Structure 1
Amino acid sequence: MDKVVATAADAVADAGDGASFAVGGFGLSGVPGELIRALHTAGVTELHVVSNNCGAMDSGLAVLLSAGRIARVTGSYIGANKEFARQYLGGELEVEMIPQGTLAERLRAGGAGIPAFYTPAGVGTQVADGGLPWRYDGAGGVQVASPPKEVRAFDGTEYVLEHGIRTDFALVRAARGDRHGNLVFAKSARNFNPLAAMAGRVTIAEVEELVEPGALDPDEVHLPGIFVQRVLALTPEQAADKGIEKRTVSN
């Protein structure tokens, strides 16, 4: 039951080229940076990543993206990541863009053993009809486009069929966790982290504070340990390393 691993390198040692990863976080919030850096150091490539976005400011998944290690991204936000946009438009990267709520539910469904579900999001658009550019050819044309999806009416309203997502691995970051893998997420870090964790066949959590079993009140646990296979305890310095994407001040 003790799922703690000694190092980040140990945690990702069995990840090979072409593996798929569900990765928690949004922007720079709740991003499993140590595990991502360990993947970079390991040299794995041709990765398929499922994450809301692909990092920012040379942090998070941007580390792998800039190194050319990612072959495909399933996400819902490009934002100000210029390297993400450059690789996508240049035909270097395959990207499946889907509505953010649909992405969240596809991850949750995969983790809950639900193969597919219907949602009204995207009906009447290329999300349902197909034709969204997944990969450009580098010359302005579309090399790979999204296929059409099944649309079905329920009580007079149309819904599009979306499939649950399962990945080889999931990488998440939690504020607190115990040796059994029970996790607590802080504030906005509780965004895609629990959902990504559910979707991974092997889920690895880096935790800012490691506690002993029984120290967490069951009512405060956001993700039970049954979804987590490995736990990495961060050092105080690593736990304090939290980037700020945009600084704002008030008068």
Structure 2
Amino acid sequence: MIFSLKGKTAIITGGGSGIGKAISNTFAKQGAHVCILDFNEENGTSTVTEIENNNGTASFYKCDVSNQEQIENIISEITNNHSINILINNAGIAHVGNIENTNSEDLDRLYNVNIKGVYNGIKAVIPHFKKKKSGVIINMASIASSVGISDRFAYSMTKGAVLTMTYSVAKDYVTHGIRCNCISPARVHTPFVDGFIKQNYPDNQAEMFENLSKTQPIGRMGKPEEIANLALYLCSNEASFITGTDFPIDGGFIKLNG
């Protein structure tokens, strides 16, 4: 089977909702045992049940990715029963605002999840991957890593760090058989987007959804499943020659918005 993950174990942070949930389901369908690390227990356990109902296998671990000790303990627990092959650093949070209306608490919050959370995950799995002389890491960055987006100061800063962390890890561990790439989505239709529109534009939700969709040259937002399919390819044996690369998946946003 092409793009098979049969016999592999994948850790997916933020794997209980949105893009992370789509990745969890897609990987499980391709034969992986999926370990979902998520702060939201309801989302995480619900996704595990969904996977199991579709004849897949999955486990849930309640986790705050900003807590290094917690991630290390969970990954140590996972290795008691499984050999880890894949890490998807998907967990992240957003913030709207320019530098003037981004306070230090906002900055710390985004740093702790979006940057430190990625660092914690990578640092915990690297020893296991080095011992195996193989492993795949996918970091979820953003088009905000490489292009200017209004009112996304703190978010862009953290996603820029994710991009450069990806390059650094890929360079340092390529001779250890470890591949590290990142995916940079544009706007993707997730529950977060729906919640953002409902909270900020309660009287004209349909209009705002259409306006946000049209900011992508292709004319619509991305689907979580489309991001998951790219992640699947990058983690499969078919992508074994790819490392140290950023993959925009953006409906033409970066190249066609000039």
TM-score by length of 2: 0.38
Is the radius of gyration larger for structure 1 or structure 2?
1
Between Structure 1 and Structure 2, the one with more helix by share is 2
TM-score by length of 1: 0.39
Between Structure 1 and Structure 2, the one with more strand by share is 1
Structure with the larger RCO, 1 or 2 (CA within 8 Å, 6+ apart) = 1
